[in-house]
Copies of this chain bind each other. A is one copy, B any other.
Amino acid sequence: MGKHLVVFQPSGRRGDFDAGTTLMDAARSLGVDIETICGTKHTCGQCKVQVQEGEFAREGIASSMEHVSPLNPDEVKFLKRVKEPNMRLACVAEVQGDVVVFIPERSRAGRQVVRKAAKELTVPVAPAVKKYYVELVPPTLHDTLGDAERMLDALRDVYGLDKLVIDSSVLRELSKRLREGEWKVTVTVWRGTDVQRVEPGFVDEIYGIAVDVGTTTVAAYLTDLKTAKVLATESMMNPQVRYGEDVMSRIAYTLEKEDGRELLFATIRDGLNQIFANLATNQHLDKEDISEVVLVGNTAMHHLFLDLDVDYLGKAPFPPVIHHSVDVKARDLGFTALHPATNVHVLPNEAGFVGADNVGVLLAEEPYHQDENLLIIDIGTNGEIIMGNRNKLISSSCATGPAFEGAHIKFGMRAAPGAIEKVRISQGGADVTCQLIAPANRREVIKAKGICGSGIIDAIGEMFRSGVLMRNGRFAKDLKTPRLRNGPDGPEYVLLWADETDLGVDITIVQADVRALQLAKGAMYSACKLMMNRLGITQVDRVILAGAFGSYIDKVQALTIGLFPDCPLEKVYAVGNAAGDGARIALVNAAKRDEADWVAREVEYVELTVEPDFERAFMEAMHFPHMKDKFPNLEAALGRAV
């Protein structure tokens, strides 16, 4: 009996296993955590996973139901109420062929650490939705004016609102609401024109939700629209990951599958409905209490949650369907967890590869109001770059691939408990110290399961600094340490020995991992350089790292490996989830939406792959930079405790 390839999604971890290995054992040996309470005794049903069927061209393997053992009677009682097809218990199902296994969010033991926290906003609170209280004179036989006009006349007389239109869904319940409130009602008006809700009596509370739909993570902020305070945050892995980890593979999915676009739309729609419902329920609100939603996302996510055509986003010259911001009723997006008349505002896109999330970053950082030349890098699965100041702003994007997120790295994993997030290596490479992501109360007991994105930059930066790696990314040949060795995949460097890990195997960085990082950082660095050429500048005044990942990478290591052009260390800032901040800004201040539409058209998108110097710049940027030029006091800069 041969070995079979097993790939776990969404992490992308893979390994070869003997036929008969349970999916649970396979997962464990790869550091993929699957929830279990009973300890594989087949009694808790927590370890539900989905065996994905069909050809997985991108993965290079085919999978089918016969590639796992037949359904066992033990599983049936746990699976009979499950709606998704091809679900199995990981502790029961055994490998019988090459197989791709998807682990749903609820079955993941190490839930993702939500790194998209909300910072305080300084923007004036002036949302698009506003509530107005009116007291009406009830109709009589001598005054039979219709309910709508009775209310609209009062709103005009008291508040000067003379352009109001009542949404059809509000009209349907208007008569009841007026009488429930004994002709005293609170009316929610959007942008001074659209009546979106009528509530009996006086109501002061008003809420909205800002959502950053990332390729990997969706983060939503329930916001008090009187104070701009975030009352609750909810996040989930973007449920579309099962159809592709990155933007391009999801676009490819819509092209390959006839109902692909429909499926991707339905998937994120359902996910967002769940988030909306959770946020409302947890705050004891009704769904009608959510008065507006603002969404951002990169252009592909934007198109997919609006159910737009992504066909041409994936083909040169990559035009988006629309740049301008979109206002659409919740019902027209299938947002059943909201009142049907609730407005959903979607920030504008800059270009095919620079989306509404990046406009969110612009709103949050306002480079268009600065004298200094800013370099804003939003590092996600795609890298999006803005450069310039009040005189001129250009943007571009580069395909960094998922390496920065820990995917396609041999021991890569998400930023979850057990992930190596910081690394220090002694000169010559003999000693390694690793810091793990761990809840405060479990620091002592937790052992390493893999390396997350920021850990990879740390590890490779340290390997280069300590001499394990050469400038061209190859391993040093003459280093005398058992950590540097020839493994099954060529030369590799051992970060942690088997007994220091939770996996029972050595955690290593292999040559392919270094190459993946070189490609990613080369793409980013060369893009920045070409943009500087475009603007005719040799230096940027400030570097802003946006995105959750940007907050966690070590600025020194980022400069060590040459992730972006040189800049004084104190001028490099991490601003967290600036896209989400931008969404919140647009949620609490309607005027900022006009600013967003303006700036989205002002920013000039530069397609770098057609620049004459593109290839040369990219090849050069693959190398690691000369150390000495960079940090005369590197040891001091890195001197913080690990």
Interface positions, chain A 77-120, Cβ under 8 Å from B, are none
A179 to B311: give the CA distance in the assembly, Å: 11
Q: Residue on B with the closest CB to A319?
A: B139
In the complex with contacts A144-B352, A319-B150, A352-B144, A168-B324 CB distance below 8 A: no
Q: Residue on B with the closest CB to A353?
A: B144
- Does A148 have its Cβ within 8 Å of any Cβ on chain B? yes
A175 near B318 (CB under 8 angstroms)? no
A263 to B605: give the CA distance in the assembly, Å: 54
A127 to B145: give the CA distance in the assembly, Å: 30
What is the CB-to-nearest-CB distance from A128 to chain B, in angstroms, rounded to a whole number? 16
A349 to B147: give the CA distance in the assembly, Å: 12
In the complex with contacts A175-B311, A309-B173, A312-B175, A141-B607 CB distance below 8 A: yes
A322 near B166 (CB under 8 angstroms)? yes
26 A-B interface contacts by CB (under 8 A): A140-B317, A141-B317, A142-B610, A144-B351, A144-B352, A146-B319, A146-B321, A146-B322, A148-B321, A149-B323, A150-B319, A168-B326, A168-B332, A168-B333, A171-B306, A172-B306, A172-B307, A172-B308, A174-B308, A174-B321, A174-B322, A175-B308, A175-B309, A175-B321, A179-B312, A331-B332
A144 near B321 (CB under 8 angstroms)? no
- Does A320 have its Cβ within 8 Å of any Cβ on chain B? yes
- Does A143 have its Cβ within 8 Å of any Cβ on chain B? yes
A174 near B324 (CB under 8 angstroms)? no
**Nearest 9 A/B pairs, CB to CB:** A148-B322, A175-B309, A146-B320, A141-B317, A146-B323, A139-B319, A168-B328, A139-B317, A144-B317
16 additional A-B residue pairs with CB within 8 Å, beyond A142-B317, A171-B326: A144-B317, A144-B318, A144-B607, A146-B319, A146-B321, A147-B312, A147-B319, A147-B321, A148-B321, A148-B323, A149-B323, A168-B328, A171-B306, A172-B307, A174-B321, A331-B332
Chain B residues, CB < 8 A from A323: 145-146, 148-149
A142 to B171: give the CA distance in the assembly, Å: 48
Chain B residues, CB < 8 A from A307: 172
A147 to B308: give the CA distance in the assembly, Å: 11
A322 near B147 (CB under 8 angstroms)? yes
What is the CB-to-nearest-CB distance from A177 to chain B, in angstroms, rounded to a whole number? 10
B141 near A308 (CB under 8 angstroms)? no
B308 near A144 (CB under 8 angstroms)? no
- Does A571 have its Cβ within 8 Å of any Cβ on chain B? no
- Does A443 have its Cβ within 8 Å of any Cβ on chain B? no
- Does A316 have its Cβ within 8 Å of any Cβ on chain B? yes
What is the CB-to-nearest-CB distance from A156 to chain B, in angstroms, rounded to a whole number? 13
Q: Residue on B with the closest CB to A605?
A: B144
What is the CB-to-nearest-CB distance from A351 to chain B, in angstroms, rounded to a whole number? 6
A312 to B144: give the CA distance in the assembly, Å: 11
Interface positions, chain A 167-207, Cβ under 8 Å from B, are 168-169, 171-176, 179
What is the CB-to-nearest-CB distance from A596 to chain B, in angstroms, rounded to a whole number? 15
A149 near B312 (CB under 8 angstroms)? no
A328 to B326: give the CA distance in the assembly, Å: 19
Chain A positions 349 through 365: 1 when the CB is less than 8 Å from some CB of chain B, otherwise 0: 10110000000000000
Selected contact of A145 from candidates B143, B319, B326, B607, CB within 8 Å = B319
Chain B residues, CB < 8 A from A146: 319-323, 349
Q: Residue on B with the closest CB to A323?
A: B146
What is the CB-to-nearest-CB distance from A450 to chain B, in angstroms, rounded to a whole number? 38
What is the CB-to-nearest-CB distance from A326 to chain B, in angstroms, rounded to a whole number? 7
What is the CB-to-nearest-CB distance from A394 to chain B, in angstroms, rounded to a whole number? 13
In the complex with contacts A141-B316, A174-B309, A311-B175, A148-B324 CB distance below 8 A: yes
A311 to B174: give the CA distance in the assembly, Å: 12
B175 near A317 (CB under 8 angstroms)? no
A311 to B173: give the CA distance in the assembly, Å: 11
A309 near B144 (CB under 8 angstroms)? no
Q: Residue on B with the closest CB to A141?
A: B317
A148 to B303: give the CA distance in the assembly, Å: 13
Chain B residues, CB < 8 A from A309: 172-176
Q: Residue on B with the closest CB to A307?
A: B172
Interface positions, chain A 264-282, Cβ under 8 Å from B, are none
Question: Taking each of A141, A150, A322, which has the highest tally of chain B beta carbons within 10 Å of its own beta carbon?
Answer: A322
A510 to B169: give the CA distance in the assembly, Å: 49
Q: Residue on B with the closest CB to A143?
A: B317
What is the CB-to-nearest-CB distance from A335 to chain B, in angstroms, rounded to a whole number? 12
Chain B residues, CB < 8 A from A143: 317
